[in-house]
Structure 1
Amino acid sequence: MKIDYHMHFEYGSYDLSWVQGFFDSAAKRHIGEIGISEHTHGFTDFKTLYYKDVIHDDSFIGKFQKKWLQTNKFKCPLSDYIKFMDMLKAKGYPVKTGIEVCNFQDQTTVKQILDRQPFDYIIGSVHFLHGWAYDSSQIRAEWKNHDLKEIYEWYTQEVEKLCTAKIYDILGHPFNIRLFKFLPDFDVTPYLIRVAEAMKKTNMVVDINTGTRYRYPIKEISPFPAFMKIAAKYKLPVITSSDAHKPEDCGAYIDEAVTYAKSFGYTQRVKFTNRNREFIPID
């Protein structure tokens, strides 16, 4: 059974005419079950957390991010999304309710928000480094202001914080800091081990994510092979995902992700229901 557990309805609205395209693409690619993991920036519940953490001053990155925060964000309460997903399930759609949460510094408040709603799984993802949206192409120039060792240290620290919070089931797109092809000339193994060890302590799952394969210059699946070798050594469980933001991308390169996982010895992937796990063959 093929599964795609990381995608977003957010470019459209919560209506069947928009989301049907995701299920149609899944069917064409023989995906048996999809999971929707809406970004927290879509919900009013998280607005205060973003304005606390994200740089939105008059600096180069601040000006862009201020506009980003004000454009098509915080559209509805989280409860509206849950109600819509419950409706899809009631109609028999093969779907699970997830959410992708940014690496907020106030994890206590995050937990309070998430505990109010039922989820099948929760993804924690590092999207900001010291308030900077490092994956935004419009402010890519900011990378030149940082040493790559600094970036790897910051990223690793943020993952460790997510793991310590004990809120999340999955680490989203691990080490996608490679996305713009800023590749290190130093040994990154210590950072990879720290992330794997932190994930192991809290039993978090690796998101084998094809989004960086088709949406970014690096054109590789995340996480990259060096981390996958360590993840396999630590016996970290996996899911496969496309990180689709458009209907036609649902299930994109999932077959490639399966082959990729198998190349590191994986024979199973995780299937989630109500935060509970079932291991199924990865085929």
Structure 2
Amino acid sequence: MLQDYHIHALAHGEYRYTYDWLKTFAVAAREQGILELGFSEHDEYLSRIDTAVLQQLREEFPDINIRLGLEVDYIPGREEHIREISRQYDFDYLIGSIHFIEGWGFDHPDFSHLFTGKDIDQIYRSYFNLVHRAIKSGLFDVVGHLDLIKIWGHRPREHTVEHYVEPLLNSIKAADMVIEINSAGLRKPVKEIYPAPEIIDLVFAKEIAVTLGSDAHHPSQLGEGLAEAHRRLIGAGFKSIAMLEQRQVKLMALK
């Protein structure tokens, strides 16, 4: 496997950013033949990142390119704050993600019931409008789990998902951004990679670069589902995958 760029060693704050803990992720990556390993904590845990720990890992695991990323919640009004935090470390990439719609953490199990009785098409419109604003902000390198809104299995009725996504893809292409192929959806109720196969086909048709990520919150999840994501990319026609270093994109062959 080429890479896993979406790793949360701190998970949701329950683990410590120590050498011994992060080493378990690197060992798991080596066992799976992962060549590029990206630690991308949630931005709320930014202050707990220790770059000295990452440097230790790079010295002990010279066969793995260990990257420093950050997954940032895009919420309108946070733009200046995001600019500020992006300067605090020498990041290789920033993942822009949407987890909240007007304060509703729609992907959290405790709030999944709030889909009931709502206009699903309106939810999709609201969600993808926020994704589009994140893209247009110019703050991010990678679009995280593009169609996360489907997490509980709710699908739009009025339009196909491509109707909502295609304008975003045009903006992503114009901004030279990268789209993450995130396998975490396979272990969620929707049981599908983010983004959906039909979107991956559109991404290929528009010649937009992609990365791979498992969204692991524990070493046991590292690389999980990426073999299927890899097969899906090959089936769609992809010949390369994006590698990011100091917020610059290079392509490597997708074998």
Same fold (TM over 0.5): yes
1:34 aligns with 2:37: yes
1:207 to 177, 180, 194: 180
State the match for 1:198 in structure 2: 171
SS at match of 1:166: coil
Matched residue type, 1:209: N
State the match for 1:259 in structure 2: 231
State the match for 2:28 in structure 1: 25
Structure 2: runs of 5 or more not aligned? none
C-alpha contact (below 8 Å) 1:172/1:207 kept by paired residues: yes
Question: For 1:253 and 1:102, how far apart are their aligned partners in 2?
Answer: 24
Q: How many residues align?
A: 248
Question: For 1:91 and 1:26, how far apart are their aligned partners in 2?
Answer: 13
Matched residue type, 1:100: E
State the match for 1:54 in structure 2: none
SS at match of 1:197: helix
1:223 aligns with 2:204: no
State the match for 1:88 in structure 2: 57
**Within-5 A mapping of 1:130-169:** 130-169=102-141
Question: For 1:198 and 1:144, how far apart are their aligned partners in 2?
Answer: 32
How far off is 1:279 after superposition? 0.5
How far off is 1:91 after superposition? 4.2
State the match for 2:73 in structure 1: 102
162-171 vs 13-22, which moves further: 13-22
C-alpha contact (below 8 Å) 1:192/1:230 kept by paired residues: no
C-alpha contact (below 8 Å) 2:23/2:57 kept by paired residues: no
State the match for 1:122 in structure 2: 94
RMSD: 1.6
C-alpha contact (below 8 Å) 1:174/1:207 kept by paired residues: yes
State the match for 2:152 in structure 1: 180
C-alpha contact (below 8 Å) 2:19/2:56 kept by paired residues: no
State the match for 1:242 in structure 2: 214
C-alpha contact (below 8 Å) 2:104/2:111 kept by paired residues: no
Matched residue type, 1:97: L
How far off is 1:259 after superposition? 0.6
SS at match of 2:192: coil
Identity of aligned residues (%): 26
C-alpha contact (below 8 Å) 2:73/2:97 kept by paired residues: yes
SS at match of 1:263: helix
State the match for 1:46 in structure 2: none
C-alpha contact (below 8 Å) 1:6/1:37 kept by paired residues: yes
Question: For 1:90 and 1:110, how far apart are their aligned partners in 2?
Answer: 30
CA deviation vs aligned residue, 1:147-204 (integer Å, no higher than 9, x gap): 1111111111111111111111100011021110112233233211122112112111
CA deviation vs aligned residue, 1:57-116 (integer Å, no higher than 9, x gap): xxxxxxxxxxxxxxxxxxxx26x4334334433444531000000012221221122123
Matched residue type, 1:13: R
C-alpha contact (below 8 Å) 1:25/1:249 kept by paired residues: no
State the match for 2:253 in structure 1: 281
Matched residue type, 1:228: I
C-alpha contact (below 8 Å) 1:21/1:248 kept by paired residues: no
